[in-house]
Structure 1
Amino acid sequence: MYLQVCSRIGTVPVRRVLRHLGQSSLDLNHYGIGPLGAKALAKVLQYDNTITSLELEDNSLKAEGIHYVVEMLQLNTSINSLNLSKNDLRVEGAHIISKMMSHNYYVKCIRLAGNGLDDASTKYFADALKGDYVIKELDLSYNKFSNIGGEHLGQMLAGNAGIEVLDLSWNNFAMKGAVALCAGLKVNTTLKRLLLVSNGFSSFVADSLSQALKINSTLVLLDLSNNLIDDYAVSMICSGLAVNGTLKVLKLSHNTITSVGALTLLKTVKNNTRTALEDIDISTVLVCEVFMELLADVQKRLPALVIQYKVVPHITKRLSAMSLFKNYLQEQRGSLMESLRAVDKDRTTKISTSDFRNIIKSAEKPLDRNQIEWLVRKFDRQCTATISYR
């Protein structure tokens, strides 16, 4: 049937279609099918009941080709995942797809990344999805949404009862649009994964996002990578994280956060007894020694917590000195105490820092000079030149 249709409408058959018909997934990404190829494929797939995933990314389908695909979906009841990314759909294609969304009962995942969709397109999607409960995953990344688009999508989030994964990365939501998105997130009850990579989010949006995190009780992943979030924005977001009990994954890499913001974030996690956070990505932030020490303390209460960060090697080496010293203390406590008492002739339970250095050096532990000096500063925080060994 496929070969006959291709011959009749004058398009070249795609051999991959012949090889994969009858399987659950049909991957036709980057085949240059075009509108006529989509028409031929649609004629066959309207009768198919085995394919559940249809991949048509980067095929120059345009609005005409999408029209044939949508017509096919009116009859096909097996396809539940549809990838139409990079097909130059623009606003006309968005209008056609939105009509399908309004009468959709089977497609649960739609990917529409990189289609030149603008703010006018979001109006169609918002109207179709406000009361929808079927579509669970929607990818609208790499498009051209800004203020008005954010307002439409925010209204959609407020009324939608189905979407669990929403990717809006690599758009350009200005302040007003981003605030509207946060307002929708605030009252949404189904969204679990929200990706907002590279949208120019800054401190102007952080307060709205914080308010949403205080109330939202379903979001488990928030990706804010590659934005304009600084330490001040982190502090505002943290006021929401301080009471949030569902968010598990937070991605903040490639922002303008410093070690100050990283420390604020970690303190918030420590103080929130209800926190669900398990994975924090600040992998482009160079953290300080205080952060490392606090992290070790936090992970005692939250052993599942994983934080990706950058650290200068000498800080890691310094911190390893403490664990080496503690191991030595456990292994050689008797002999160590004898050494300490031997130099503490007045039995004050204190020794000079110079005596401490000599004892550690004589213990033949693999500690260099910098590590020993770091231990001295830790044990002699008041700079009295003495260390208590009680």
Structure 2
Amino acid sequence: MNNIHEDSVDFQSNSQEEKQQLSVQSVLSRGSQEEIKFTKGQAGHSDDECSTDLEDDSMFMEQNNSVIVDVFFIYPSRLLIFISVFTSSRRLNLSPSDVYLKACKQTGAVPVSYILCHLDDAILDLNYYGLGPLGAKALAILLKSHGVVTHLELKGNSLQAEGTQYLMAMLFENISIQSLNLSDNKLGLKGAEVISKMLSDNRKLKSINLSENDFSDAAAKCLAEALKNDFVVKDLDLSYNCICDAGGEDLGVMLAENIGIEVLNLSWNHFLIRGNAALIAGLKVNATLKQLQLSNSGFGCPEVQLMAEVLQQNDTLVLLDLSINCVDDEAVRLLCQGLATNETLEVLKLSRNPITKIGAATLLRTVKKNMKSALEEIDISSVLVCETFVELLEETRVTRPALRFQYYILPSVTKNLLALGIFKKFFEEQNKSIMDFFQALDKEGTMKVSTSAFRKAVKEANIPLDQQQLGWLVRKFDKNCTATIVYSVVQTFV
């Protein structure tokens, strides 16, 4: 049977029709504003005693030939209900669009044309459509029995806790939705409580985005309690909220007990060392988490040291995002203690941290040394690196060709890196040997030439290097700054 709000069914008499329409409208309008108290007996399946302001309405006490009132409990412990009036599909055969339009008329919501045009889409993208609670109510009526949508996007719709109630009720009946985006909907603590009730009995929702909802420590506690025993949710996003250390501790306990979550985003909250320590402690015993995002989460040396200990023994985490924190060169050194033995981490994000070229080189050397490292992508895109780092990276890629580093490099550095290639190419085109070039300068056969003599000879030979490139080439050949070049060593470069 299709769930609808019907306002134009042919009844035996006009007076009967009007009476039933008024009853439905009154209930639906009150459903979003007050709690309606009643017991199981009101659904017509029990003789239990009931207490309700609707007990005199015969519509909720019986079934007639064409209309059935389906009353189901969202959260029995809170006696909240969602009332759905629907008709027999065999008699009315209403299409999903008709169901939605009638639901909008019954609830007073403005129909969204996008919904009508995409009823057959698996991904229903309603981000920033301004649905509000009433729009969510009409949508919930449609989706309760519409088993096509698998991904529902509802970001920025001002749903608030009220609108979320209808959606959570719908999820108890819907058999297809696996991914739900409720970010930026002003849910607050009440919204978190409503969602927690659903998560306590979740059977099919695998991904839920709850970012930007003003969740506090109390909200985090509700969600953490519900998720402790949930094994269905795989992807949870709680970023851009107001969760502090107390909430971090609750989430840490959840992380230690949860056996389902694989992707967790806690970026841009208000954790300090206590909350971060609790999260890391939970991660230490967690056996399922694969991706952890903690961007802008107050990570410094103490937290990084704890994370390094986790990386030494963790064999499930493949992505770690610590960007926009307080990770400096010393923190990178501590992190490398974990990376030196880790064999599973594939992606490491450290951009927009106070890391210098020293920390970048430390990181690269650690990755190069650990032959069992699985790292394929490292993001230090805000770090200004030098020529030495780039050359070391090229050496590393000989044995690790899949390794990708994101870094920042000045045009002048890139130009310098071309100098050695230009130098080699010049002699190849002349069919001459670089060693012959140096030997011609070494009149006494000492295997050394002065840097000044080298500079002069390069200019006289018209090798196309500018002053900057020539200076860098001299520094490369004379690493110890002795003003002499041992040209036997030059062979290792060319």
Same fold (TM over 0.5): yes
**For structure 1, which segment, 212-221 or 355-364, has the greater mean C-alpha deviation from structure 2 after superposition?**
355-364
Find 2:422's aligned residue among 306, 313, 324.
Answer: 324
2:318 is matched by which residue type in structure 1? V
1:50 corresponding residue in structure 2: 148
Name the SS of the counterpart of 2:174 in structure 1.
coil
Q: Match of 1:378?
A: 476
Structure 1 letter corresponding to 2:376:
E
Structure 1 residue 300 displacement after superposition: 2.1
Residue number in structure 2 paired with 1:202: 300
- Alignment of 1:303 with 2:401, yes or no, is yes
8 Å contact from structure 2 (residues 427, 433) kept in 1: no
User: Any idea what SS the aligned residue of 1:74 has?
Assistant: helix
Per the normalisation by structure 2, the TM-score is 0.75
- Aligned counterpart in structure 2 of residue 278 of structure 1, from 350, 365, 376: 376
User: 2: CA distance between counterparts of 1:181 and 1:225?
Assistant: 17
Shift, 1:74, TM fit: 0.7
Q: Is the 8 A contact 1:112 1:140 kept in 2?
A: yes
Relative to structure 2, which stretch is displaced further, 264-273 or 336-345?
336-345
Residue 141 of structure 1: aligned partner = 239
Alignment of 1:350-369 (within 5 A): 350-369=448-467
Alignment-derived partner of residue 120 in structure 1:
218
Higher mean C-alpha displacement, 173-182 vs 58-67: 58-67
> What one-letter code is carried by the residue in structure 1 that aligns with 2:174?
N
The answer to whether 1:315 aligns with 2:433 is no
Q: Summarize deviations over 1:295-335 as a string: whole Å, max 9, x none.
A: 23222222221212223333333232223333445555645
289-298 vs 59-68, which deviates more?
289-298
Deviations 1:193-232 (A, max 9, x none): 1111112222231111111111211111111111122222
> Is the deviation greater in 105-114 or in 352-361?
352-361
User: Is 1:166 matched with 2:264?
Assistant: yes
Measure the CA separation in 2 of the matches of 1:359 and 1:315.
Answer: 24
- Corresponding residue for residue 150 of structure 1: 248
RMSD of equivalent CA atoms:
2.0
Contact kept? 2:424, 2:434, Cα under 8 Å: no
Identify which of structures 1 and 2 has the higher relative contact order when contacts are C-alpha pairs closer than 8 Å and 6+ apart: 1
Counterpart residue number, 1:213: 311
Partner residue of 1:227 out of 303, 307, 325:
325
Residue-pair matches, total: 390
CA gap 1:265/1:128 in 2 versus in 1, 3 angstroms = same
Letter in 1 for 2:240: Y
> 1: distance between equivalents of 2:184 and 2:309?
35
Amino acid at match of 1:369: Q
Unaligned ranges ≥5, structure 2? 1-98, 489-494
Contact 1:187/1:215 (8 A) holds in 2: no
The residue type equivalent to 1:195 in the other structure is Q
2:345 aligned partner = 247
TM-score by length of 1: 0.93
Question: 2:148–2:176: 8 Å Cα contact kept in structure 1?
Answer: yes
Shift of 1:365: 2.5
Matched, 1:98 2:98: no
CA gap 1:8/1:351 in 2 versus in 1, 3 angstroms: closer
Tell me the CA shift for residue 240 of structure 1.
1.1
Query: CA shift at 1:255, angstroms?
Result: 1.5
Specify every segment of 5 or more residues in structure 1 that has no aligned partner in the other structure, as ranges. Answer: none
Query: Alpha carbons of 1:97 and 1:384: their partners in 2 closer, same or farther (altered >3 Å)?
Result: closer
Cα distance change, pair 339–266 in 1 and its aligned pair in 2 (3 A): closer
Counterparts of 2:285 and 2:161, CA distance in 1: 34
Instruction: Quote the residue 1:11 is aligned against.
Output: 109
* CA distance in 2: counterparts of 1:268 and 1:257, whole angstroms: 15
On the 8 A contact 1:150/1:177 being kept in 2, the answer is yes
Counterparts of 1:343 and 1:91, CA distance in 2: 79
CA displacement at 1:27 relative to structure 2: 1.5
The structural deviation recorded for 1:383 is 4.6
